């Protein structure tokens, strides 16, 4: 099966040029001028870019007494509709559960995926079994381990557990990921707010101020430094966290920050003076912030101190959200965004001049492909790469609405937002899943992408080791008498 993408302009993280792309057997076979000999897709006026990679999604995840409502079928259909061709989900073992056993459950769920996918493995408890199984997990093609510093009494790990796990990551050539919020402080603030009668969804935002995130981000970075391992901070939402990341990077540390499209484009006013459902639908952790924090995130993307834009797609219906009526701590945390990430970032980033097209490709695809060690199979328009491609029409417009979305939930946090820039075609390993805007996915087409450990990236972060390593004092040349 041969497909030719004709007359488009290729946009990668580092180049923009006119060429046709020939796709054969799911991979890019040739890039050149005037190619022919197959089904033609007309890319006139369009940009031909690497398909998006969303490294942070939670599909059909057991969480807060329920399951997130988009599964691997609807979630990856939403992804493809918006130009994203690979997602990375989080495998969450229960306390005391074997990592391999948990992975089996995720393997079973993901067989329905419409596009390629991978997993991060969460470290939700610590012990010899976890230590040992981490190696088995890396052999299964998973080179990233997630740590929650929040969700006390559930997913949260303590500093000693995190330090032990980070050191294990360093040994294995794996990369630790961190949800950085101070879970002890959050739990205290939640209890205080509830005791004072603040039980509405705005209490969620008050219980998770930026300091909670700034402190934990800084702590995670310092612990990673002492463990001699890089670290990836998920859903960086505020200047306090961004500042810690920036400072670490300036000191030569490999620290990556991942803002979400929601934090870049929605702010805290979504929680205040709004009806309960409106606010509760937007409850996620971290919560939306004010405009100054938003500006900080945009600046981080254009200057390079923040690396990746994700969604943390974790969708709950209004009915599920209503579990928290009378107690905001029981509102399932999470928002959708998979279908809207690329169009929203293009509209608010590229169309406003905040990001170049090449930077757009970098932060939606190429940077994370490199960090996750799947580049250039993913994240590239190169001969031999997987044909995960989006043909992007910069003039195609729509108003985002739950009525026309792929996601299984009954609302959209971006409802009413106008976007300009949408896929004309999306290809997942050569299969055309969006054709002239029409979604034609194939359940089960998606495959697990193995990501081997990445040793060279995991050299020590800073000079800490050198400075503290015991040094042998040379005594030669010094007279015995000490004169």
Residues found near ligand DUC in the complex (CB under 6 A): 58, 179, 284-285, 312, 314, 333-334
Shortest gap between Cβ of 285 and ligand DUC (angstroms)? 4
| Angle formed by the axes of helices 291-303 and 239-250, nearest 10° | 30
Identify which of 49, 62, 64 has the alpha carbon closest to the alpha carbon of residue 89: 62
Q: Please choose which of Zn ion, ligand DUC, none residue 284 contacts, taking the beta carbon within 5 to 8 angstroms, the exact cut-off set by kind.
A: ligand DUC
In the bound state with ligand DUC, the residue whose beta carbon lies nearer, of 6 and 56, is 56
Cis before 265 (ω within 30): no
Which residues, other chains included, contact 263 with Cβ-Cβ below 8 Å and sequence gap of 6+? 235, 236, 237, 286, 288, 289, 293, 294, 297
Q: Shortest approach of ligand DUC to residue 147 CB, angstroms? A: 11
Measured from the CB of residue 334, what is the shortest distance to ligand DUC in angstroms?
4
CB 72 within 8 A of CB 119: no
Size of the site for Zn ion (CB under 5 A): 4
Considering beta carbons, is residue 90 or 166 the nearer one to ligand DUC? 90
Identity of the residue, 213 or 386, whose beta carbon is nearer to ligand DUC in the bound complex: 213
Distances in Å between the alpha carbon of 307 and those of 170, 292, 298? 21, 19, 11
| Cα–Cα separations (whole angstroms), residue 435 to 43, 117, 266, 439 | 11, 21, 30, 6
Binding-site partner at residue 445 among Zn ion, ligand DUC, none, CB < 5 to 8 Å by type: Zn ion
Q: Find which of Zn ion, ligand DUC, none residue 238 binds, CB within 5 to 8 Å per kind.
A: none
Q: Which CB, 52 or 183, lies closer to ligand DUC?
A: 183
Please provide the DSSP assignment of 330-355 as one string.
GSPP-B--TTTHHHHHIIIIITTTSS
Locus of tokens 């990236």: 457
Smallest gap, in angstroms, from Cβ of residue 464 to Zn ion?
27
How many of the other CB atoms lie within 10 Å of CB of 298? 18
The distance of closest approach from Cβ of residue 85 to Zn ion in the complex, given in angstroms and rounded to an integer, is: 13
User: Minimum distance from CB of 351 to ligand DUC (Å)?
Assistant: 27
Footprint (CB under 5 A) of Zn ion, residues 303-362: 312
| Residue 293 vs 445, nearer CB to Zn ion | 445
The CA distances from residue 413 to 90, 265, 266, 334, 470, in Å, are: 22, 10, 9, 11, 55
The 429-448 contact track toward Zn ion, x by CB under 5 A, reads -------------x--x---
Between CA 339 and CA 110 the distance in angstroms is 18
Nearer to ligand DUC, 112 or 282 (CB): 282
Our finding on whether 179 is near Zn ion (CB under 5 A) is yes
- H helix or E strand, kind and range, residue 48: strand 47-50
For 408, other C-beta atoms within 10 Å of its C-beta total 17
CB of 471 to ligand DUC, least distance (A): 43
168 binds, among ligand DUC, Zn ion, none (CB under 5 to 8 A by kind): none
Q: Which residues pair with 67 in a beta bridge?
A: 62
Instruction: Find all residues with CB under 8 Å of 259, minimum gap 6, and list them.
Output: 235, 236, 237, 297, 300, 301, 306, 308, 309, 310
On whether the CB atoms of residues 423 and 52 are closer than 8 A, the answer is no
Q: CA 72 to CA 330: how far, in whole Å?
A: 25
DSSP result, 466-482: HHHS--PPP-TTS-TT-
In the complex, residue closest to ligand DUC by CB: 284
Question: How many CB atoms are closer than 10 A to CB 478?
Answer: 10
343 binds, among ligand DUC, Zn ion, none (CB under 5 to 8 A by kind): none
Closest distance of CB 179 from ligand DUC, Å: 5
Give which of ligand DUC, Zn ion, none residue 248 binds (C-beta under 5 to 8 Å, depending on kind).
Answer: none
Query: Residue 443 binds what, of Zn ion, ligand DUC, none (CB under 5 to 8 Å, by partner type)?
Result: none
Q: How far is the CB of 58 from ligand DUC (least distance, A)?
A: 5
Question: Minimum CB separation from ligand DUC for residue 242, in Å?
Answer: 18
- In the bound state with ligand DUC, the residue whose beta carbon lies nearer, of 134 and 284, is 284
Assess contact for 337 and 305: CB atoms under 8 A: no
Cα–Cα distance between 467 and 87 in angstroms, integer? Answer: 40
Of 207 and 333, which CB lies nearer to ligand DUC in the complex structure?
333
Single out the segment in contact with Zn ion by CB under 5 A; choices: 77-85, 175-183, 221-229, 322-330.
175-183
Distance (Å) of CA 328 to CA 281, 288, 409: 11, 15, 20
Give min distance, CB of 333 to ligand DUC, in A: 4
Specify the residue, 113 or 380, whose C-beta has the smaller distance to Zn ion: 113
Q: Which does 333 bind (CB under 5 to 8 A by kind): ligand DUC, Zn ion, none?
A: ligand DUC
Tokens standing for residue 166: 């980070």
> What residue 336 binds from Zn ion, ligand DUC, none (CB within 5 to 8 A, per partner kind)?
none
Binding of Zn ion at residue 120 (CB under 5 A)? no
Report the nearest approach of ligand DUC to the CB of residue 127 (Å).
23
Output 81 or 419, the one with its CB closest to Zn ion. 81
73 touches Zn ion (CB under 5 A): no
The residues binding Zn ion (CB under 5 A) are: 179, 312, 442, 445
């Amino acid at each position: 099966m041969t497909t030719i993408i004709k007359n488009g302009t290729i946009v990668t993280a580092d180049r923009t040029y006119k060429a046709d792309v020939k796709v054969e057997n799911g991979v890019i076979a040739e890039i050149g001028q005037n190619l022919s000999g197959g089904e033609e897709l007309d890319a006139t006026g369009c940009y031909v870019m690497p398909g998006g990679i969303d490294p942070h999604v939670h599909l059909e995840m057991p969480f807060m007494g329920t399951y997130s409502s988009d599964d691997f079928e609807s979630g990856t259909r939403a992804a493809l509709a918006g130009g994203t061709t690979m997602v990375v989900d989080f495998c969450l073992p229960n306390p005391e559960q074997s990592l391999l056993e948990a992975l089996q459950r995720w393997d079973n769920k993901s067989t329905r995926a419409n596009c390629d996918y991978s997993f991060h493995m969460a470290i939700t408890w610590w012990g010899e079994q976890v230590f040992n199984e981490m190696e088995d997990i890396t052999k299964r093609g998973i080179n990233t381990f997630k740590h929650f510093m929040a969700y006390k009494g559930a997913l949260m790990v303590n500093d000693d557990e995190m330090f032990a796990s980070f050191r294990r990551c360093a040994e294995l050539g794996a990369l630790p990921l961190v949800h950085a919020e101070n879970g002890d402080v959050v739990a205290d603030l939640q209890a205080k707010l509830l005791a004072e009668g603040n039980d509405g969804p705005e209490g969620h935002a008050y219980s998770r101020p930026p300091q909670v995130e700034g402190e934990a981000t800084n702590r995670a970075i310092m612990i990673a430094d002492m463990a001699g391992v890089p670290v990836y901070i998920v859903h960086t939402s505020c200047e306090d966290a961004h500042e810690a990341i920036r400072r670490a990077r300036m000191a030569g540390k490999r620290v990556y920050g991942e803002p979400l499209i929601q934090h870049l484009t929605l702010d805290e006013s979504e929680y205040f003076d709004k009806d309960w459902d409106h606010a509760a639908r937007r409850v996620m952790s971290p919560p939306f912030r004010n405009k100054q924090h938003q500006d900080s995130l945009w600046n981080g993307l254009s200057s390079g101190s923040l690396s990746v834009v994700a969604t943390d797609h974790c969708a709950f219906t209004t009915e599920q959200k209503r579990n928290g009526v009378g107690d905001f701590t029981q509102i399932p945390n999470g928002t959708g965004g998979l279908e809207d990430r690329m169009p929203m970032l293009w509209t608010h980033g590229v169309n406003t001049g905040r990001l170049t097209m090449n930077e757009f490709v970098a932060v939606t695809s190429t940077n994370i492909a490199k960090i996750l060690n799947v580049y250039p199979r993913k994240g590239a328009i190169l001969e031999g790469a997987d044909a995960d491609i989006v043909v992007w029409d910069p003039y195609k417009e729509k108003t985002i609405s739950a009525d026309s979305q792929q996601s299984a939930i009954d609302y959209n946090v971006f409802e009413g937002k106008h976007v300009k820039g949408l896929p004309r075609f999306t290809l997942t390993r050569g299969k055309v899943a969006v054709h002239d805007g029409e979604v034609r996915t194939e359940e089960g087409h998606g495959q697990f992408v193995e990501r081997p450990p990445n040793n060279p990236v995991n050299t020590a972060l800073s000079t800490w080791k050198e400075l503290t390593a015991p040094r042998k004092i040379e005594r030669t040349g010094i007279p015995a008498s000490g004169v």
